[in-house]
Amino acid sequence: MPTALTALTIHELTERYRRGDVKPSDVADAYLSRIERLDGDVGAYLAVTHDRARAAARAADERYRAGRPLGPLDGAPVSIKDVFCTRGVPTTCGSKILEGFVPPYDATVVARLEAAGAVMLGKTNMDEFAMGSSTEHSAYKLTRNPWDLSRVPGGSSGGSAAAVAGELGLAALGTDTGGSIRQPGAFCGVVGLKPTYGRVSRYGVIAFASSLDHPGPLTRDVRDCALVLRAIAGVDPHDATSVDEPVPDYAALLDQGVRGLRLGVPREYFAEGLDPEIERAVRAAIERLRDLGATLEDVSLPTTDYGLAVYYIVAPAEASSNLARYDGVKYGLRAPGGKDLIDMESRTRAAGFGAEVKRRIMLGTYALSAGYYDAYYGRAQKVRTLVKRDFEAAFARVDLLLAPTTPSVAFKHGEKEDPLAMYLNDVYTVGGDLAGLPAISVRCGFSSNGLPIGLQIIGRPFDEARVLRTAYSYEQATDWLARRPELA
């Protein structure tokens, strides 16, 4: 039996496109029908853009027929987290407050993917305004983990991760503010890369916490991740915080191996609260990388324990500001019956935002309010400096850091009711966001109940090439990718 089209990676597919064995339309159709058949169970998508996908795929067919494909993503299906604005396609950010909003513009990364020939399949589910670690905070639907439908896919990019894992999508875009690409990547056993802050444009990404939001790819394997990153990375005149650094051909640099690389193992990332199965799998992965020629070194990141506290000030503060615009005046929901403007706005926001979003707006507003700024936001920004210095000190000694992505594997729906317990999911990922460092999660094993485990590799700013090449070396040396989730 030939391999199903939806089991192939981007680089495998485009190889076949070039040979003429298969064409982009066939692949788009295969995905659309699989979504039709199975997404009722998984719930990865908020909207499927059939027409736009078919039109894009047909255009790609033509280019291959003419022998002039646009590049390594031409004809590759992609799924877009609903945090990215898509021209003419409703964009909700998982929130009722944006119900009916149709952006008149495309996010820069969406435009770049489409310019590279990628075929958008649809918009994926997410925690409302990217606030959450389980995608349970979506206002629209529940997303299930393809490895175990009773469990969460992680979040906030849960729809993207579930789509890629369940072969309802091939590559996806997500955003990572406290771990929202890497954590669902780990829970769903896919590759999730959070690039350096400024490496990828945020223009058109509906803001959660501006200084922490990082768009990035979720893919089946590391090579696909390298291909997608190259297409979306680079300075954008519409994003003043994007950085004008050259974008290397990451895929071409994957084969260099890890020999001679110094890998740091931060002891604070193997502390109390880490699931022993995860610790075993991650330590085994670290040993494997040593076998491949890297050297290991113990390092310390003393402020690790404070990262979450910093995060839960900075992110809500910025969110309270970014979400002030949703007031029922310009777009989205307007609650009926407001007797005057303030009443209308207060009711609209009460009806349009979910509990978690309200909690963070309240927390952030409080942290910025008169008399509390220095005690909360001001202090948090200073501790953020200390967190960053920890990483700088570590990177003076080693090239990369290795750690678990999450303290536990995917949990069951409804298991984490307490907000703080949910927040603790981000304990190993927030540091990378606060310091803006590139970090990837790759599959490094399975728990005894068959759930994927993620290995996290963190690099120096703009050193995505080394992060990817190390992840690739590990992926090539192991056969974890052979296992696929069974969807009925």
Q: Return the active site residues.
A: 81, 156, 180
- In whole angstroms, the minimum distance from the beta carbon of 409 to other proteins comes to 24
Q: Which is nearer to other proteins, 58 or 87 (CB)?
A: 87
Residue span binding other proteins (CB under 8 A) among the ranges 10-18, 196-204, 225-233, 265-273:
196-204
HSE-CB at 330 with a 13 A cutoff on CA atoms is 5
Question: Exactly one of 243, 247, 265, 477 binds other proteins (CB under 8 A); which one?
Answer: 243
- Among positions 202-231, residues that touch other proteins (CB under 8 A) are 202-207, 209-211
Q: ∠ CA 113-114-115 to the nearest 5 degrees?
A: 90
Q: Which is nearer to other proteins, 42 or 401 (CB)?
A: 401
Residue span binding other proteins (CB under 8 A) among the ranges 118-126, 288-296, 320-328, 409-417:
320-328
- Among positions 24-63, residues that touch other proteins (CB under 8 A) are none
**247 touching other proteins, by CB under 8 A:** no
Buried b (16+ CB within 10 A) or exposed e, 337-355: eeeeeeebbebbbeebbbe
Distance of CA 204 to the CA centre of its chain: 16
Question: Exactly one of 33, 150, 300, 385 binds other proteins (CB under 8 A); which one?
Answer: 385
Residue 278 main-chain phi, psi, to 5 deg: -70, -45
Residue span binding other proteins (CB under 8 A) among the ranges 5-13, 133-141, 291-299, 337-345:
337-345
Residue span binding other proteins (CB under 8 A) among the ranges 225-233, 246-254, 340-348, 473-481:
340-348
- In whole angstroms, the minimum distance from the beta carbon of 281 to other proteins comes to 29
Q: Which is nearer to other proteins, 252 or 329 (CB)?
A: 329
Side chain identity at residue 265, one-letter code: V
Q: Which two tokens stand for residue 14?
A: 């485009």
Residue span binding other proteins (CB under 8 A) among the ranges 42-50, 61-69, 350-358, 469-477:
350-358
**68 touching other proteins, by CB under 8 A:** no
Residue 411 main-chain phi, psi, to 5 deg: -100, 175
- In whole angstroms, the minimum distance from the beta carbon of 299 to other proteins comes to 19
- Kindly write down the DSSP assignment for every residue of 148-196, as one continuous string: BTTB---SSSHHHHHHHHTTS-SEEEEEESSSTTHHHHHHHT-EEEE--
**313 touching other proteins, by CB under 8 A:** yes
- Among positions 100-139, residues that touch other proteins (CB under 8 A) are 100-105, 107
Contact in structure between 73 and 117 (CB atoms under 8 Å): yes
Q: How far apart are CA 77 and CA 117, in angstroms?
A: 9
**89 touching other proteins, by CB under 8 A:** no
Q: Which is nearer to other proteins, 366 or 446 (CB)?
A: 366
- Among positions 273-312, residues that touch other proteins (CB under 8 A) are 303, 305-306, 308-310, 312
- In whole angstroms, the minimum distance from the beta carbon of 81 to other proteins comes to 12
**233 touching other proteins, by CB under 8 A:** no
Q: Which is nearer to other proteins, 75 or 198 (CB)?
A: 198
Contact in structure between 106 and 17 (CB atoms under 8 Å): no
Q: How far is CA 48 from CA 6, 32, 86, 111, 415, in A?
A: 17, 8, 12, 18, 29
Q: Which is nearer to other proteins, 226 or 437 (CB)?
A: 437
Short-list 213, 244, 241, 242, CA closest to 434: 213
Q: Taking the CB of residue 153, how many other CB atoms lie within 10 A of it? A: 36
Q: How far apart are CA 188 and CA 386, in angstroms?
A: 32
